[in-house]
Amino acid sequence: MMWAAWLLLWRPFVFIWVLAELQKTHLVHRLFSAFGVGIEHGITALIACAVGLLLWSHVLPERRVEGSELNMKQTDDYARYFDLPVQEIEQGRSQKITVVHHNEFGKIIRVE
């Protein structure tokens, strides 16, 4: 979403560049005089958005969870929640086709 806003901020500059390429300099001067403050605010917003994206992607701290830690935690959580042995859950995850047996209330009773 932020990248879309960043690209949208470039729209006025591309428009002015196209007008300058058409060599209608009098029109470009009129646009600059009419929209001077708007262009200044656009440049400021563009720079602020670029700085915000750079800070977001490089400077802000992030906490990464390793895949093995995540799988172990989830496996233990599933085993506790469904009251099943961890080996059955791991075996079911490693197979391409897994059969899950339920009781009449919908609770998982066995994994093959």
Q: Check if the beta carbon of residue 79 is closer than 8 Å to that of residue 89.
A: yes
Q: How many helices (H) and strands (E) does the chain have?
A: 6, 2
> What tokens does 55 get?
């800070």
- HSE-up of residue 70 (Cα within 13 Å, Cβ side): 5
Residues 47 and 92 in one domain: no
Residues 50 and 71 in one domain: no
Residues 55 and 72 in one domain: no
Q: Average pLDDT, stretch 41-47?
A: 85
Whether residue 112 is predicted with pLDDT greater than 70 in this model: the reply is yes
Helix (H, G, I), strand (E, B) or coil at 111: strand
Residue 69: which pLDDT band, with cuts at 50, 70 and 90? low
The mean predicted confidence, pLDDT, of the chain is 79
Residues 48 and 82 in one domain: no
What percentage of the chain exceeds 70 in pLDDT?
79
CA 54 to the chain's CA centroid: 14
- Give the range of the structural domain holding residue 27, as residue numbers without chain letter: 2-59
Number of domains forming the structure of the chain: 2
Residues 13 and 37 in one domain: yes
Residues 44 and 17 in one domain: yes
